Structure 1
Amino acid sequence: MQQTTNTILMIRPINFRMNEQTAINNYFQEDLEIKNAQINAKAQVEFDAFVEKLRAVGVNVIVEQDDKLLDTPDSIFPNNWVSFHKNGDVGLYPMFAENRRKERRDEVFIRLEKEGFKIENIIDYTSAEDEGIFLEGTGSLLIDRINSKVYCALSARANEELVIEFCEDFECTPVIFVANQTVEGNRLPIYHTNVMMCLAEKFAVICLNSIDDKKERKNVIKNLKQDGKEIIEITEKQMHQFAGNMLQVQGHDSQRYLVMSKTAHDSLTQNQIATIEKHCPILSSSLETIETCGGGSARCMMAEVFLPRV
């Protein structure tokens, strides 16, 4: 099993803007006082520059265009609706925001098959939407593929029963907890696990202070240490700069990179940077518009492709 992949699927935005339906519980989103067309144009510039940086180090980036007719403001974050696995399985996930459900498109699978990947089986959890329960892909599920574990912070977008069902289907052990952030003086659940935690091959970047329950925090630390992961702790303030929203990928000659936004990179201390760079170089790109309006960052934009080749 491998934890990192060389192939990433990304969706180029057409109608990107602040999504009013996700702003309810994504406290990272802010309203920019400029027209949506300008926001989308800026997001496209950031997207293209990011793709170029990934390709420059040898990451195989498959860019699929969004469909203008669907009006899907968050399509730039495909990792929430789909996951691609080594055995040819594809996971399809139930989405909290109704306008995000239209992001699930067969064209994406057709494109991957054209690129030489084999899809054996689709495991579809989307009927849970009818019951008002959700699990937003690898936004919610941090999969330790080598140690067969799944880390998940419960929220309105990550239902515990569904997490357990996923773990049964994919033969993983769940490590479940609640991660909170302070919003206007209240501790409220963080909408996605991958905002407060990043799991790489030999280390984890995590905002441990967001796990208020001491028992749950201890359990997360125990599991990470058990599997030999170095823990790189970030503060809640750094988490708000998207320092938890990172992904380790492979470039030329299987060289690993930790990918993050410029905002996240700028928020890290010299010590944290040195600890990460002990394991692999950092690759960062400016994603300011996408982060401000979308409330997601570099990791959310990349759907890892682990599918077997034909």
Structure 2
Amino acid sequence: MQQTTDTILMIRPVAFRMNEQTAVNNYFQEDLDLKNNEINAKAQKEFDAFVSKLKAVGVNVIVAHDDKDLDTPDSIFPNNWVSFHENGDVALYPMFAENRRKERREEVLDLLESNGFVIKNIVDYTSAEDEGYFLEGTGSILLDRVNSKAYCALSPRADEDLFIEFCEDFEYTPIVFTANQTVDGQRLPIYHTNVMMCLGEGFAVICLESIDDKKERKTVIKHLKEDGREIIAISEKQMHQFAGNMLQVKGFGNKPYLVMSKAAHECLSASQIASIEKHCEILSSSLETIETCGGGSARCMMAEVFLPKQ
């Protein structure tokens, strides 16, 4: 099994804006005092510049276009509804916000097949939405593919039983914990695991101070250490600049890059950057509008493709 891939799926937005349905528990979202069409135009500009940077270093980016008729403001974050696995499995996930469920489109899977990828089997968890249970893809689940472990911070968007079911189906050992952030003086669950944690080859970037339970924190550290990962700890303040929302990908000649937003890159200390650069080069791009209105960053925009090729 490989931990990183050179192929990612990204969705170019057509109706990006602040999604009122996700704002109820995504405390990273803020309202920009702009018209929706201006917000979308800015987001498209950021998206295109980001894709260009990835392609320039040799990352294979497959861009699908959003459908204007669906009114899916968060379609730019495809990693929440789908994941693609080395054995040809595709998992479809139950989404908390009703208007995000329309993001799951067959055309996106058809596009991958037309690019020579093989889909053998679809594992569909979406019926859990009817019962009010959610598990938002690799937003909720961090996969250590090499060591067959999966990390999940429980939240209204990450149900424990569903996570365990996923781990049984895909043969991962579940590591469950709760990660919190301070909102108006209260400790509340962080909506997605991938906002506070990133797993790379040989390292992990993680906001340990968000795991309030000492026992849970110790367990997470133990797993990361026993798998030989260097732990690069970030603060809650840095997490709010999306320093946890990073993804390692491969470019030309299998060269690894840690991809993040400009805001995330700029908030890192010199020693944190040095620790990351022992493992791979940093690639960052400005995603200001997308981060502010969408409450998600670079990692959320990339769905990793591990499917076999024809």
Give the TM-score normalised by structure 1. 1.00
CA distance in 1, matches of 2:233, 2:288: 23
What corresponds to 1:300 in structure 2? 300
**In the alignment, residue 127 of structure 1 is paired with which amino acid?**
S
| Per-residue deviation, residues 179-236 of structure 1 (Å, max 9, x unmatched) | 0000000000000000000000110000000000000000000000010000000000
SS in 1 for 2:127: helix
Equivalent residue of 2:123, what SS?
Answer: strand
1:82 aligns with 2:89: no
* 1:144 corresponding residue in structure 2: 144
Residues 46-85 of structure 1: pairs in structure 2 closer than 5 A: 46-85=46-85
Q: Which residue of 2 aligns with 1:166?
A: 166
Structure 1: 5+ residue stretches without partners: none
Correspondence 1:269 to 2:269: yes
Residue 228 (structure 1) aligns with: 228
Alpha-carbon separation, structure 2, partners of 1:16 and 1:119: 29
Which secondary structure does the structure 1 equivalent of 2:10 belong to? Answer: strand
Looking at structure 1, the residues matched to 201 and 168 of structure 2 have their Cα atoms a distance apart, in angstroms, of 23
Matching of residues 18-33 of structure 1 within 5 Å? 18-33=18-33
CA drift of 1:34 comes to: 0.5
State whether structure 2 residue 110 is matched by structure 1 residue 119: no
Structure 2, unpaired ranges of 5+:
none
Q: How does 1:245-264 map to 2 (within 5 A)?
A: 245-264=245-264
Aligned to 1:291: 291
Say which SS state the counterpart of residue 259 (structure 2) adopts: strand
Q: Tell me the distance in 2 between the aligned counterparts of 1:251 and 1:190.
A: 31
Aligned to 2:210: 210
Amino acid paired to 1:258 = L
3-state SS of paired residue (1:44): helix
d(CA) in 2 for partners of 1:280 and 1:27? 30
1:61-107 Cα distance to aligned partner (Å, 9 max, x none):
00000000000000000000000000000000000000000000000
Aligned residue pairs: how many?
A: 310
What amino acid is aligned across from residue 47 of structure 1 in structure 2? Answer: F
Which residue number in structure 1 is paired with residue 185 of structure 2?
A: 185
* Matching of residues 83-122 of structure 1 within 5 Å: 83-122=83-122
Q: Which secondary structure does the structure 2 equivalent of 1:258 belong to?
A: strand
For 1:153 and 1:136, how far apart are their aligned partners in 2? 11
Find the counterpart in structure 1 of residue 129 from structure 2. Answer: 129
Q: Which residue of 2 aligns with 1:42?
A: 42
Alignment RMSD: 0.2
CA deviation digits over 1:86-141, x for unaligned, max 9?
Answer: 00000000000000000000000110000000000000000000000000000000
Distance 2:229 2:175 in 1: 15
SS at the partner of 1:126?
Answer: coil
Contact kept? 2:82, 2:90, Cα under 8 Å: yes
Q: Counterparts of 1:179 and 1:30 in 2: how far apart (Å)?
A: 21
Residues 256-306 of structure 1 show CA distances to partners (whole Å, capped at 9, x for unaligned) of 000000000000000000000010000000000000000000000000000
**Matched residue of 2:5: which SS?**
coil
User: Where does structure 1 differ by over 2 angstroms across 4 or more consecutive aligned residues?
Assistant: none
Give the share of equivalent positions with the same residue, in percent: 79
SS in 1 for 2:248: strand
Distance 2:243 2:268 in 1: 7
Name the SS of the counterpart of 1:38 in structure 2.
helix
Q: Is the 8 A contact 2:201 2:279 kept in 1?
A: no
1:14 maps to amino acid: V
Inter-partner Cα distance in structure 2 for 1:201 and 1:272? 16
Partner-residue secondary structure (3-state), 1:101? helix
Query: For residue 219 of structure 2, what is the aligned residue in structure 1?
Result: 219
Distance 2:65 2:223 in 1: 39
